[in-house]
A and B are shown apart, each in its own frame.
Chain A
């Protein structure tokens, strides 16, 4: 047994196959090796049996005008970690309220990693693969499907028919094939169930930008802009709504802290207080001048308050805060009126017994108040207390800041809701369509 046996034949690797279309004679390239079952001639659109030695013609339906795929058959691109070659292309069409909607599907192939799909609808792209698991369908008012712990909301169910085919497919494909497609979304992913001939296939798609597709396949020019909002298009506001409300929350906390600081740190120093009586009928001196009081420290706000015992009456107080040294005067007036009673709705009141005026930034010095009360000549006397407080906190800033703080989160929330509204407008669950 010394004779060496003949060498075992080296296994030859699979080769790309070229054939001529038996319908039109045009060359047809088979790039899917032994996987390709059917191939549609790019020239005459005849569907051929790639497994048959004689390349039998399966369908020669004369189709409508040609569609030029954005990704040419044979083009290769690196997408999501693998190199893929586009080997098949089909257009599929659904009818919604009698209007046809068509999208394109590119079959991508890698002899090691297998098959993937790219779908294209008005500039929106999805990178799709079949799912070997069995997602859980949850029927109901808002049907859902759960796959790998992720819940997808039902978006649309429709019957899709194949309206254009070129290139290769590892399954039997014919013009006019129909399948029911149920789409469930959780942007940026979409879970789809396709049912045909009693069998179903699940697939999962991930939204990809046209730019990513263009870059991957080095396509000329720029990707066409996406039209409208697509079912699983990620919202530009996703995550922003929560984030901006969180920021607004922090801002509100800062708002409260500042408010508390202002309330505790501002001096709020009472520098004068005294009570008087004014009787309009006595015809007494209508004008009075208070004792002098001292305003110390930095220029600060000064609040002049008047607290009265008015009862179903009114009084007008004309004030002047006068600097005893310079004679500089701050003039202002306040009308105080307080009415109450009882009618068929019960007790009512109007106005109030007290009022105050705030003078910003009054410099230090000795001051006095000149007061001129005015009332109805027949009114009862009024007993009132004047008080002057220095360094009074001003809360106006806080009341202006509060709504300003809340505008951005409200704005983003509204924008986000509008985006979702546009998305679901196209679904089976559009609010307006429920009324039909």
Chain B
């Protein structure tokens, strides 16, 4: 499936048929697919220096499920930045590979009701999802810093966003994203670089690629 950028005319390729938003690789226009047409809703400025080894097109697998990295959202807060890489599994479902200072976690969106309101989130709050107790450890007010590639929803006109991060007795984790009118719940699991079996990762000066 291909289309052309309404701004610069360059071809726009989609890695994922269900992508709602993408960024033109040439002119950095943010393109949103409504019905069949692509419309330009904005542009991405210079992306911040990024030390993630992950990039668009990286392939990997998580718990035997192959995936490809299709897009990302970049956030910044007072202690640096992190990336939420949008990954598409080979069954067409989508997930998120979070990379915060080379601390990796895989999340997926889980429909949920009765999430605590933004005003109620503070460390120590306990929630239970799928029979697992999650404890809120960090509330982060982050700044939306940019997007790249394909996303499963429109995401381009954000400013400050609020995240509530939860942890458990094991490596399971959860995040509630308060950037939309309705909070979104993401359940996930921390993992290691090696366990993701990534290919086509970025090269760092002075370091052999794994």
CA distance A34 to B193 in the complex (A): 18
- In the complex, A265 has a CB within 8 A of chain B: no
| B147 shortest CB reach to chain A, Å | 16
| A50 shortest CB reach to chain B, Å | 10
* Given A37-B79, A111-B51, A115-B102, CB of A132 within 8 Å of CB of B204: no
- In the complex, B178 has a CB within 8 A of chain A: no
Within 8 A of B (CB), among A30-78: 31-35, 37, 51
A134 near B48 with CB under 8 A, answer no
- In the complex, A135 has a CB within 8 A of chain B: yes
Residues on B with beta carbons closer than 8 Å to the beta carbon of A16: 205-206
A5 near B11 with CB under 8 A, answer yes
* Given A112-B193, A112-B201, CB of A14 within 8 Å of CB of B26: no
- In the complex, A139 has a CB within 8 A of chain B: no
A5 near B10 with CB under 8 A, answer yes
In the complex, per-residue mask of B187-201: 1 if CB is within 8 Å of any chain A CB, else 0: 000101110000001
Among candidates B26, B105, B137, B193, residue contacting A8 with C-beta atoms closer than 8 Å: B26
- In the complex, B64 has a CB within 8 A of chain A: no
CA distance A200 to B55 in the complex (A): 31
* Given A5-B11, A13-B202, A34-B48, CB of A111 within 8 Å of CB of B53: yes
Binds A, one of B30-38, B109-117, B163-171: B163-171
- In the complex, B45 has a CB within 8 A of chain A: no
A11 near B55 with CB under 8 A, answer yes
Residues on A with beta carbons closer than 8 Å to the beta carbon of B105: 132
A114 near B170 with CB under 8 A, answer no
Among candidates A6, A111, A114, A135, residue contacting B204 with C-beta atoms closer than 8 Å: A111
B10 near A13 with CB under 8 A, answer no
CA distance A34 to B79 in the complex (A): 12
B51 near A33 with CB under 8 A, answer yes
Residues on A with beta carbons closer than 8 Å to the beta carbon of B101: 35, 114-115, 170
| A71 shortest CB reach to chain B, Å | 17
Residues on A with beta carbons closer than 8 Å to the beta carbon of B201: 112
Residue of B whose beta carbon sits closest to that of A132: B190
Give the bracket for the number of chain A residues in contact with chain B: 35 or more
Residues on B with beta carbons closer than 8 Å to the beta carbon of A148: 170
B79 near A14 with CB under 8 A, answer no
A111 near B207 with CB under 8 A, answer yes
Main SS class of interface, A = loop
B103 near A132 with CB under 8 A, answer yes
A133 near B210 with CB under 8 A, answer no
Residues on B with beta carbons closer than 8 Å to the beta carbon of A172: 79
In the complex, per-residue mask of A129-160: 1 if CB is within 8 Å of any chain B CB, else 0: 01011111000000000001000000000000
| A35 shortest CB reach to chain B, Å | 5
The total number of A-B Cβ pairs within 8 Å is: 94
Residues on A with beta carbons closer than 8 Å to the beta carbon of B169: 133-136
CA distance A341 to B169 in the complex (A): 74
Residue of A whose beta carbon sits closest to that of B8: A5
With most chain B CB atoms within 10 A of its CB, the pick from A6, A35, A199 is A35
Residues on B with beta carbons closer than 8 Å to the beta carbon of A133: 167-171, 190
A132 near B80 with CB under 8 A, answer no
In the complex, per-residue mask of A146-187: 1 if CB is within 8 Å of any chain B CB, else 0: 001000000000000000000000111000000000000000
A14 near B170 with CB under 8 A, answer no
| B28 shortest CB reach to chain A, Å | 11
In the complex, per-residue mask of B103-145: 1 if CB is within 8 Å of any chain A CB, else 0: 1010000000000000000010000000000010110000000
B167 near A132 with CB under 8 A, answer yes
Residues on B with beta carbons closer than 8 Å to the beta carbon of A112: 53, 102, 193, 201, 207, 210
Residues on B with beta carbons closer than 8 Å to the beta carbon of A14: 49-51, 202, 204-205
Residue of B whose beta carbon sits closest to that of A13: B203
CA distance A1 to B10 in the complex (A): 10
A6 near B205 with CB under 8 A, answer no
- In the complex, B173 has a CB within 8 A of chain A: yes
CA distance A13 to B206 in the complex (A): 10
Residue of B whose beta carbon sits closest to that of A34: B51
A130 near B103 with CB under 8 A, answer yes
Among candidates A5, A33, A51, A114, residue contacting B103 with C-beta atoms closer than 8 Å: A114
CA distance A218 to B168 in the complex (A): 39
A35 near B202 with CB under 8 A, answer no
Residue of B whose beta carbon sits closest to that of A170: B101
- In the complex, A261 has a CB within 8 A of chain B: no
Among candidates A111, A170, A199, A200, residue contacting B80 with C-beta atoms closer than 8 Å: A170
Residues on B with beta carbons closer than 8 Å to the beta carbon of A171: 79-80
Within 8 A of B (CB), among A191-249: 198-200
- In the complex, A113 has a CB within 8 A of chain B: yes
* Given A34-B50, A111-B53, CB of A199 within 8 Å of CB of B10: no
| A168 shortest CB reach to chain B, Å | 12
CA distance A199 to B25 in the complex (A): 40
- In the complex, A15 has a CB within 8 A of chain B: yes
Within 8 A of A (CB), among B146-177: 167-171, 173
A13 near B205 with CB under 8 A, answer yes
A5 near B204 with CB under 8 A, answer no
With most chain B CB atoms within 10 A of its CB, the pick from A31, A111, A133 is A111
Q: Which 8 A-B pairs have the closest CB atoms?
A: A114-B102, A34-B51, A33-B51, A132-B190, A13-B203, A111-B204, A134-B167, A34-B49
Q: List 23 A-B contacts (CB under 8 A).
A: A5-B26, A6-B10, A6-B26, A8-B25, A13-B204, A14-B204, A32-B51, A33-B49, A33-B51, A34-B49, A35-B80, A35-B101, A51-B80, A113-B102, A113-B194, A114-B193, A132-B103, A132-B105, A134-B168, A135-B169, A170-B101, A171-B79, A199-B138
